[in-house]
Amino acid sequence: MRIDQKRYGKIPGVTDKEYYTNSNHVFVGYDISVFDKIEIEAPYHALCNAGHICYVELDGDACQNIDAIEEILAWMKECGVGYGSINHPVDYDPVCGYVGVIGDTCPRCGRKEFEGVPIQRLKKLGVWKEYNAKRIGYPGDPSEEADRKPNIYEVHKQGG
């Protein structure tokens, strides 16, 4: 992007960010439903033999709505997604090792957010390398991370 900005300047909607949107992905900051995003990206999977992924961003605890997860996965299959991912918040308490969504208090050890070592909050599961590493994720591109919006989830019935 820096090379293109130097060569062409900052063109709104094209080179005005610090990154490009990869491949066939809908821009991470676009307000779009989970199901519409899948429907737009899925057809390209049949055309890419060198790798592809369709991921959606959720903003809540995925374990609290298993029906939604099943519905999203079924829609990915229906639309022809070859490789899909559902990103959601995941927290890690480095004191007791709990992994899951943590509110103000760790459900395992009862420790509060700012008692000692801070709880590590990740926006998506995909950044995890290994659970036992001192550094449990990577920061990714801060500009892209800052632009991310959760995709809108509303109950969706296939074919409707």
Is-contact 55 148, C-beta < 8 A?
Answer: no
- How do the domains of the chain map onto residue ranges? 26-89+124-147
Task: Give residue 122's pLDDT.
Answer: 72
Task: Give residue 137's pLDDT.
Answer: 44
For every one of its 160 residues, what pLDDT tens digit does the chain have, with 9 covering 90 and above?
Answer: 889 999 999 999 888 988 888 778 998 888 999 999 999 999 999 998 778 889 998 888 888 889 999 999 999 999 999 999 998 888 889 899 998 888 889 999 999 988 888 888 775 444 443 444 444 444 446 777 778 888 888 877 655 4
Is-contact 90 101, C-beta < 8 A?
Answer: yes
CA 4 centroid distance within chain: 27
Task: Give residue 17's pLDDT.
Answer: 87
Beta bridge partners of 33: 152
Task: Give residue 155's pLDDT.
Answer: 76
Is-contact 113 77, C-beta < 8 A?
Answer: no
SS3 (DSSP) at 8: helix
